[in-house]
């Protein structure tokens, strides 16, 4: 997941470079960024959840890692000099939209990668739930997310520098993409090592545990998907998820260029400022997971995270353009990192509390599916809004980002509403979202079971 997160954002600090070097417009960059989620939106992620519940974490994880490698290789070819001037590029450039052929093929590769990346996300969640059931599940998920967040810090640190590595006077987008593609090969090998460990875990659990796991997989039915969709609590969590993450991941695509435009700095300096965003999440997420395991307050953490995100995006929209100082930008980014630690740390460990174990993989995949709808549409929407807000502007260093940032802030407001609704329902029906994951109190466990039954 560390290498997957690095590949996702490898071109985010290079938006201005890809526009000038390959002729991509803000619209083209937005379509490329949204392409990661397109196939997932049109059903692949639902299929991935069913595959996960039927075939298990070992098969699904290996498949997902392989898809990421394949998609990365296609994207690398698309932005490389080998693709420039080929018959394929000319053909791709001649149909559908005015996007360059390199943008279209890169978007296709990113779609393949996105299928593997999102499938890997739900596989990792189910694997951790399996390994840490009744133990420090939130801490384990927090540590996994923290390691992945470090990938974002790393790529924002090294991507602009790798672009200038071969020729500082003539930077290229190829070296950073090639570097991250190589890392994904290492990630595939890493998961193969995990499959050996997971098989040993099954052997240690004994024949009885294995029989229970097989029964759970055999009991899963396609009708369970309809039951998940019929859950009101599922939709509240899914909508909170899509609204919150749509104001985070699409923002990462444009953040470096936004800082360049507001502060008048180069891509490397902008990346050096923004790279601290995931570090706040990486440092705090495990600590918050530890707190959640022992003290609870998951729904409260979701609300606080949404509030902090609103403040940050309003700062980028209204305050930073008037007071363009690096310390203000840095402060808002660190605060956004704190928000990004609160919400995921509380959100993902809450799902096993409300969904039966036998279709937990499908529950995760359906939440990711709803999330992917937003993540596929909002980069495109932000690109369109950015273009419409800057008529006649061709210099990628002079964009006005006020309207895109206000759009991100509005998503935070909607996420806050769903967070308040979730906490209200939890207080009434005892879903256990405010309770700790580790508890010897039998009454609390009964409350959790009652809440799931009512739902």
What sections of 94-248 are H helices per DSSP? 101-131, 137-163, 174-219, 223-229, 232-246
Q: Is residue 221 part of a domain?
A: no
Helix (H) or strand (E) holding 443: helix 442-454
Are residues 204 and 68 located together in one domain of the fold?
yes
pLDDT for the residue numbered 408: 95
Our measurement of the distance from residue 341's CA atom to the centroid of its chain's CA atoms, rounded to an integer in Å, reads 13
Residue 425 CA to residue 430 CA, distance in Å, equals 8
What is the tally of structural domains in the chain? 2
pLDDT at 409: 95
How many Å apart are CA 401 and CA 25, to the nearest integer? 15
When computed from its CA atoms, the radius of gyration of the chain, rounded to whole angstroms, is 22
**Does residue 223 form part of some domain?**
no
Q: How far is CA 49 from CA 161, 191, 257, 363, 427, in A?
A: 38, 18, 35, 8, 30
Same domain, 181 and 260: no
Same domain for 246 and 185: no
Residues 153 and 2: their CA atoms lie apart, in Å, by: 10
In this structure, what CATH number is given to the domain that contains residue 144?
1.20.1250.20
Do residues 185 and 270 both lie within one domain?
A: no
pLDDT of residue 323: 92
- The structure tokens listed for 183 are 């890392």
Strands (E), 125-240: none
Of the residues 216, 245, 264, the one at which a domain ends: 216
202 and 256 share one domain = no
Both tokens assigned to 300: 């409260």
Asked whether the beta carbons of 416 and 310 are under 8 A apart, the reply is yes
Residues 105 and 42 in one domain: yes
Q: How far apart are CA 282 and CA 56, in angstroms?
A: 28
The pLDDT tens digits for 300-323 are 888 999 999 999 999 999 999 999
CA-based nearest residue to 277, from 347, 341, 345: 341
Q: Would you say residue 451 lies in a domain?
A: yes
Residue 153 CA from chain centroid, whole number: 14
* The pLDDT of residue 350: 76
pTM metric for this prediction: 0.70
The C-alpha atoms of residue 389 and residue 400 are separated, in whole angstroms, by: 7
CA dist 278 → 147, 186, 189, 250, 330 (Å): 10, 22, 25, 14, 12
> Is residue 234 located within the same domain as residue 362?
yes
Is 291 domain-assigned?
yes
Q: Are 79 and 102 in contact (CB under 8 A)?
A: yes
Do both 186 and 317 map to the same domain?
Answer: no
Q: How many angstroms separate the first and last alpha carbons of the chain?
A: 32
Judgement on whether residues 374 and 411 belong to the same structural domain of the protein: yes
Instruction: Quote the tokens at residue 334.
Output: 């660190």
Assess whether 401 and 276 both reside in one domain: yes
- One domain for residues 252 and 314: yes
Instruction: Give the pair of three-digit tokens for residue 53.
Output: 């519940």
Q: Is residue 373 part of a domain?
A: yes
> 131: domain range?
1-216
Residues 189 and 65 in one domain: yes
Does residue 181 lie in a domain region? yes
pLDDT tens, N- to C-terminus, the chain (455 residues): 999 999 998 988 888 888 888 888 888 888 888 888 888 888 788 788 888 878 888 999 999 999 999 999 999 999 988 888 888 888 888 877 778 888 899 999 999 999 999 899 889 988 888 888 777 877 888 788 888 888 888 888 888 889 888 777 778 889 999 999 999 999 999 999 999 998 888 887 764 454 454 444 444 566 667 778 888 888 888 899 899 999 998 898 889 899 999 998 988 888 888 888 877 777 777 777 778 778 878 888 889 999 999 999 999 999 999 999 999 999 999 899 888 888 877 777 777 777 776 677 778 778 878 888 888 888 889 988 998 999 888 888 889 999 999 999 999 999 999 999 988 888 887 777 777 766 555 444 444 454 554 44
């Amino acid at each position: 997941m560390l290498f997957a997160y690095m590949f996702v954002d490898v071109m985010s600090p290079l938006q201005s470079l890809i526009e000038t070097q390959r002729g991509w417009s803000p619209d083209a960059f937005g379509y490329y960024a949204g392409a990661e989620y397109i196939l997932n939106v049109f059903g692949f992620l639902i299929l991935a959840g069913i595959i996960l519940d039927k075939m298990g974490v070992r098969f699904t994880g290996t498949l997902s890692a392989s898809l990421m490698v394949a998609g990365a290789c296609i994207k690398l070819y698309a932005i490389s000099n080998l693709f420039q001037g080929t018959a394929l590029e000319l053909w791709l450039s001649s149909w559908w939209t005015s996007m360059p052929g390199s943008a279209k093929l890169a978007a296709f590769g990113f779609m393949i990668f996105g299928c593997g990346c999102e499938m890997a996300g739900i596989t990792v969640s189910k694997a951790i739930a399996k390994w840490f059931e009744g133990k420090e599940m939130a801490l384990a998920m927090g540590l996994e997310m923290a390691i992945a967040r470090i990938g974002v810090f790393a790529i924002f640190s090294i991507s602009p520098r790798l672009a200038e590595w071969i020729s500082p006077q003539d930077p290229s987008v190829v070296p950073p993409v090639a570097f991250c593609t190589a890392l994904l090969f290492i990630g595939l090998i890493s998961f193969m090592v995990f499959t050996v460990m997971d098989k040993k875990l099954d052997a240690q659990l004994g024949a009885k545990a294995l029989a229970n796991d097989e029964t759970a997989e055999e009991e899963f039915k396609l009708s369970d998907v309809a039951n998940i969709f019929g859950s009101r609590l599922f939709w509240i969590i899914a909508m909170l998820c899509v609204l919150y993450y749509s104001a985070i991941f699409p923002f990462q695509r444009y953040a470096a260029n936004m800082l360049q435009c507001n502060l008048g700095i180069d891509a490397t300096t902008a990346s050096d400022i923004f790279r601290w965003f995931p570090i706040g999440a990486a440092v705090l997420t495990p600590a918050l997971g530890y707190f959640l395991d022992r003290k609870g307050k998951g729904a409260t953490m979701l609300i606080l995270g949404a509030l902090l995100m609103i403040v940050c995006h309003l700062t980028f929209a209204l305050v930073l353009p008037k007071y363009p100082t690096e310390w203000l930008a840095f402060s808002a980014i660190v605060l956004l990192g704190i928000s990004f630690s609160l919400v995921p740390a509380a959100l993902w460990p809450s799902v096993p509390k409300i969904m039966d174990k036998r279709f937990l993989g499908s529950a995760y995949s359906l939440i990711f599916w709803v999330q992917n709808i937003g993540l596929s549409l909002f980069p495109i929407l932000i690109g369109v809004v950015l273009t419409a807000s800057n008529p006649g502007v061709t210099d990628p260093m002079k964009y006005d980002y006020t309207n895109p940032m206000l759009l991100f802030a509005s998503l935070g407001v909607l996420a806050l509403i769903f967070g308040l609704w979730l906490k209200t329902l939890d207080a009434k029906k005892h879903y256990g979202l405010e309770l700790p994951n580790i508890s010897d109190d039998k009454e609390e466990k009964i409350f959790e079971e009652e809440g799931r039954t009512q739902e």
